[in-house]
């Protein structure tokens, strides 16, 4: 049984501030180690549950956050950005289940460090008319291959908004949001224990969990953070301008929707 793990940082126990996800400071160095140890707990649980192969994709920011020499040596690691499939790079239909570790709530939700792909680019995103999180996008991407999301971890807002998308999946709540940049969290040790236990249960139950699927072709609509950014995104030939800060695309499939989201996100880095 092959298991895929996508690891983000905002939903890790103890992470509450943007600086903890930004390389080049002491807080980040601490946070990336907390992230790595939560991933190790999931790897340990996956193998205990019957996995014979585990692939981990570093999925936050530069996607070089996990500390390779601290990672459980039984797993393989995908690092770096830009890569096909983004946060789920490396996933294919040979995997029995996918885990979303350290995930967070969608843009415009009141969760810890809530955003969708880029807080610089998007104030909200809708996929087929529904407020969309990264878990929704990438869970649907996995579902299109027939792979179910079997475990998520993060805060209570993520649990409420994303957990229901994946009936039967384990959710490990490692903190309760007090706001965008504050939370009451489990100790790292307790969080890892619960992730390890949840991952083991998830792998044992993987065969009973149905993939999350959305209707395709699909509509993706971006509420952008400025009119200027919307002006730039609206120059893409297939774009649809709905409002001064709202641009959308009609995508043939969920992968194309993710590609448009990533393109608009990258464009935001060049807008002043």
pLDDT at 12: 98
* Furthest-apart CA atoms within the chain: distance in Å: 52
pLDDT at 92: 98
Does 122 reside within a domain? no
pLDDT at 74: 98
Average per-residue pLDDT in the chain?
98
End-to-end CA distance of the chain: 47
Does 266 reside within a domain? no
Does 243 reside within a domain? no
The CATH number linked to 172 is 3.40.50.10780
Does 179 reside within a domain? yes
Helices (H), the chain: 26-48, 134-144, 156-162, 188-205, 227-233, 254-268
Could you tell me the residue range of the domain that residue 154 belongs to?
2-109+133-208
Concatenate the DSSP letters of all residues of 130-164 into one string.
EE--HHHHHHHHHHHTTPPEEEEEEEHHHHHHHGG
Structural domain count of the chain:
1
The Cα 264–Cα 272 span in angstroms is 14
pLDDT at 237: 95
| Residues of the chain falling short of pLDDT 50 | none
pLDDT at 272: 76
CB 218 within 8 A of CB 18: no
The Cα 248–Cα 261 span in angstroms is 10
Does 142 reside within a domain? yes
Nearest to 188 by CA among 19, 36, 5, 20: 36
Does 231 reside within a domain? no
Distance (Å) of CA 187 to CA 16, 33, 213: 14, 14, 35
pLDDT at 271: 87
Does 252 reside within a domain? no
Distance (Å) of CA 128 to CA 160, 204, 249: 19, 32, 11
CB 47 within 8 A of CB 100: no
User: The pTM is what?
Assistant: 0.97
Tens of pLDDT, residues 10-57: 999 999 999 999 999 999 999 999 999 999 999 999 999 999 999 999
Does 159 reside within a domain? yes
């Amino acid at each position: 049984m092959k298991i895929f793990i996508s690891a983000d940082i905002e939903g890790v126990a103890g992470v509450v501030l943007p600086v903890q996800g930004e390389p080049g400071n002491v807080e980040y160095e601490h946070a990336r180690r907390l992230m790595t140890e939560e991933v190790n707990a999931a790897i340990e649980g996956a193998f205990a549950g019957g996995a014979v192969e585990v692939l981990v994709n570093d999925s936050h920011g530069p996607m070089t956050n996990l500390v390779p020499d601290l990672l459980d040596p039984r797993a393989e690691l995908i690092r770096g950005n830009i890569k096909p499939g983004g946060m789920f790079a490396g996933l294919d239909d040979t995997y029995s289940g996918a885990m979303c570790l350290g995930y967070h709530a969608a843009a415009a939700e009141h969760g810890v460090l809530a955003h969708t792909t880029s807080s610089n680019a998007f104030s909200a995103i809708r996929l087929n008319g529904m407020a969309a999180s990264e878990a929704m996008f990438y869970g649907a991407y996995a579902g299109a291959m027939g792979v179910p999301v079997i475990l998520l971890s993060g805060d209570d807002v993520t649990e409420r908004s994303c957990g229901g998308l994946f009936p039967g999946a384990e959710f490990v709540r490692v903190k309760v949001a007090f706001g965008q940049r504050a939370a009451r969290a489990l100790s790292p040790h307790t969080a890892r224990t619960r992730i390890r236990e949840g991952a083991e249960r998830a792998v044992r139950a993987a065969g009973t969990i149905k993939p999350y699927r959305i209707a395709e072709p699909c509509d993706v609509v971006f509420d952008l953070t400025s009119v200027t950014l919307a002006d730039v995104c609206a120059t893409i030939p297939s774009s649809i301008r709905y409002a001064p800060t709202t641009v959308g695309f009609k995508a043939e499939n969920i992968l194309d929707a993710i590609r448009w989201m990533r393109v608009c996100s990258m464009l935001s880095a060049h807008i002043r």
